[in-house]
Homo-oligomer: A and B are copies of this chain.
């Protein structure tokens, strides 16, 4: 990722401040924003067979443009939530990955998917 995360956060804060949208952005509402944006991303794949999902994602064209758009929306919602709650996204990811290393030991989890 070439973009600087702190610079993105600064841009997002300015965008929200200019529109006086902070009043709508309590963490509860932001998880709802996140859920609705993820729903739109899911919609991009709901009729796409798994074995062509990679090609569907990478073929230049309208689908890829929409997918990038929806990924952007999801990322914005997630960063807004982290910023509002004072959660460092990178730290949260690193901490969860460390937990997952323990929960799914490589020798036992190999080739078997994560449990639901």
Chain A residues in the interface with B (C-beta under 8 A): 1-6, 8-9, 11-12, 15, 18-21, 23-24, 26-29, 31-51, 53-54, 56-58, 66-69, 71-76, 78-79, 81-82, 84-97, 99-101, 104, 106, 109-111, 113-114, 116
Complex CA distance for A51 and B46, rounded to whole angstroms? 14
Given known A1-B88, A44-B116, A116-B43, contact A97–B15 (CB-CB < 8 A): yes
Give the interface centre of A11, A99, A113 by most chain B CB atoms within 10 Å: A113
Complex CA distance for A25 and B79, rounded to whole angstroms? 23
Residues of B contacting A106 with CB < 8 Å? 18-19
Complex CA distance for A89 and B92, rounded to whole angstroms? 17
